[in-house]
Amino acid sequence: YQDTFVAGRVTLINPPEINPPFDRYWQTPRQLRETLERNGWSKVVAHQSRNVPHAGHEWLMKGAWFASEADGVLVSAVIGEKKPGDYIDEAIVLTHDLLRQAGFFREGTHLTSTLMWDMRYAGPREAVFHALVRKNLGCTHHMFGRDHAGVGSYYDTYAAHRIFDDLPDLGIKSVLTLEWWYCPICASVTYEGLCGHPDQKQDLAGTLIRRIIQGGEEPAPTTLRAEVLEVVRECAEKYGFGSPFVEENYLQNRTPVMSMPSMDLSCTCSNAS
């Protein structure tokens, strides 16, 4: 068999119905580009997310916003195939939007959207893919932190940074950032490239955040916003069958992200003939 290329206009004749709460955040690439234009955002920096945002994520976004001199931050929350232990989709999306609603990002500088994509955990190669996808969504910049799209310790911490050194211009600029952590000497969340107390750093690691959530602790705002934790708990009860993390019950009984409406095939066939 030889490869065959098919070209031409693609027409979607039976669009899916996006179910709540995702319906408020889903837009096609064209619709999203139009939204960014209406917002007056000529510079847009994308944040790829598959997690509930802790203080490190918040400052990653704010730091990239400053570095790129952007008009706004587009959170592109990955909604797709889940494995046990992941955050449930609803918690990811609603907690990110909460950062805007609670005023941690000024209205008009932060927008949450969804991307229906199953993570491949391909590290630097997936970082390139993410950049191209967000370019298509209308972004001019894309932030890349430590271990972007990695899994465990398989990739070097900043492999996703170095891959862009060997690539031609992709039409979207990479904002490469180091790690954000809490420093008890500085008494604040601070940046690896700025803080002079690396031996005192307290990592804002996913295991710490999970322990706080699972243990019912009340976190310091330098770790996890109380408002974010409240939404996480609400999502656990409303969508996660009691847990904000993916469990077997969630995988089997959750409301799907989208539903396919029935289609009158006879009408389609008659039009085609």
The residues near 259 (Cβ < 8 Å, ≥ 6 apart) are 16, 17, 19
Q: Which of 19, 39, 51, 136 is catalytic?
A: 51
Per-residue exposure over 155-175, b if at least 16 CB sit within 10 Å of its own CB, e if not: beebbbbebbeeeeeeebbbb
The HSE-up count of residue 122 (CA atoms within 13 Å, CB side) is 10
Catalytic (active site) residue 125: no
Of 19, 33, 39, 50, which one is the catalytic site residue? 50
Distance from C-alpha of 24 to C-alpha of 45, rounded to nearest angstrom: 21
Q: Using alpha carbons, select from 271, 270, 255, 264 the residue that is nearest to residue 88.
A: 255
Task: Mark whether 51 is an active-site residue.
Answer: yes
Active site residues per annotation: 50-51
